[in-house]
């Protein structure tokens, strides 16, 4: 029985706009991000991606705010799930990317060049995140077998799941793409096989609503 998980990266947050590494820190969406979230809801309601039976979200405010317009439009509650959070980045939390590169050059180099073996800010490692988000996906599939689930989450968890679907291993994380804010990635699981049918789609965003870090 096929289960569909529609991953939605949260819309533009204050951290994205200001190029701050946010991790588990709480920064809300910008006014621009709120417009992106509404556009995502419109696209879902109009059948641009499979319409969800269930809405799950990271419990961080930027993800909840992204899920809210879809929740209101479809009359579905948002079910917060801490396992869908962004990677925890320790000493990097709340630090500007330029300062990270200056203050932690070797750690930042590994994050950029060899992400599978990175541990940003002595926080959560990429391998730990890969296991966490992979476990969350397995749980979602087993809980909502045969249904379509919208899961609103973050850039690095989506990158991990994209890597899992494309390569089946965290070792090839350096080949996995980063997908833009407010983009959709669609995963299908059937008989133990995970397939990505859409990756980082942002065609629903007009040019004035497309933000790339």
Catalytic-labelled residue, pool 14, 24, 26, 86: 86
204 is a catalytic site residue: no
Residue 179 pLDDT > 90, yes or no?
A: yes
Q: What is the DSSP string of 195-210?
A: EEEEEEE-TTS-GGG-
Residue 41 pLDDT > 90, yes or no?
A: yes
Report the 10 Å Cβ neighbour count for 141: 23
User: What are the pLDDT digits (tens) for 76-120?
Assistant: 999 999 999 999 999 999 899 899 999 999 999 999 999 999 999
Largest CA distance in the chain: 50
Per-domain residue ranges for the chain? 3-209
The CATH architecture assigned to 3-209 reads: 3-Layer(aba) Sandwich (3.40)
Q: What token pair was written down for 163?
A: 């890597």
Percent of the chain with pLDDT over 70: 97
Instruction: Please give the average per-residue pLDDT across 48-59, as a whole number.
Output: 97
At 207 the pLDDT is 64
**Secondary structure class of 145 (helix, strand, coil):** coil
24 is a catalytic site residue: no
């Amino acid at each position: 029985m096929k289960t569909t998980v529609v991953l939605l990266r949260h819309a533009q947050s204050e951290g994205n706009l200001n190029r701050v590494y946010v991790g588990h820190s709480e920064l809300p969406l910008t006014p621009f991000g709120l417009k992106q979230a509404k556009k995502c809801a419109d696209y879902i309601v109009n059948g641009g991606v499979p319409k969800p039976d269930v809405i799950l979200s990271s419990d961080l405010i930027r993800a909840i705010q992204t899920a809210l317009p879809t929740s209101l439009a479809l009359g579905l509650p948002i079910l917060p799930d801490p396992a869908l959070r962004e990677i925890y980045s320790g000493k990097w939390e709340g630090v500007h990317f330029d300062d990270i590169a200056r203050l932690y050059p070797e750690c930042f180099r590994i994050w950029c060049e060899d992400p599978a073996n990175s541990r940003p800010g002595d926080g959560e490692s990429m391998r730990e995140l890969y296991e966490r988000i992979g476990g969350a996906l397995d749980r979602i599939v087993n809980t909502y077998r045969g249904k379509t689930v919208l899961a609103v989450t973050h850039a690095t968890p989506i990158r991990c799941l994209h890597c899992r679907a494309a390569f089946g291993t965290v070792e090839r994380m350096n080949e996995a793409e980063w997908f833009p804010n407010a983009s959709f990635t669609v995963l299908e699981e059937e008989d133990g096989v995970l397939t990505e049918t859409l990756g980082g789609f942002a065609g629903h965003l007009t040019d004035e609503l497309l933000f790339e870090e």
